[in-house]
Amino acid sequence: MRRCKVCGKKYDFCPQCTLTVQPEWLARYDKQECVELDEIFSYYICGLVDAKRTYEKLLPYNLENKKLEPKFENAYKEIIQKIEVVE
Ligand SMILES: [Zn+2]
């Protein structure tokens, strides 16, 4: 069993199958969506994209209804706070 580094969901992973059947990202994420979220958050955390643009990118993912690991949850809360200050 693996645990997704973004949403914390446990999922089955077979290291032997990785190279043939499964995409490489399955070693760390349970689904493609989490790969994209990690990338979006990474840009924000590294300061490459500001809170407003990050928020816009995150909108289609409907994060209000999703579980996230603390690192991402905190980053998301921070983004929401910054957006509210601006408005
Ligand atoms: Zn996930």
> How remote is the CA of residue 26 from the centroid of ligand 1, in Å?
10
pLDDT for 40 beyond 70: yes
- Residues that place a CB less than 5 A from ion ligand 1: 4, 6-7, 9, 30, 34
pLDDT at residue 53, as a whole number: 97
> How remote is the CA of residue 69 from the centroid of ligand 1, in Å?
9
The pLDDT of 27-52, averaged and rounded, is 96
What is d(CA 27, CA 7) in angstroms, rounded to the nearest whole number? 14
pLDDT for 19 beyond 70: no
pLDDT at residue 8, as a whole number: 97
pLDDT at residue 4, as a whole number: 97
What is the value of pTM for the model shown? 0.87
Show me where the domains of the chain are located.
2-86
Dihedral sign for Cα atoms in the order 74, 63, 26, 12:
positive
Do 59 and 26 form a contact (C-beta atoms < 8 A)? no
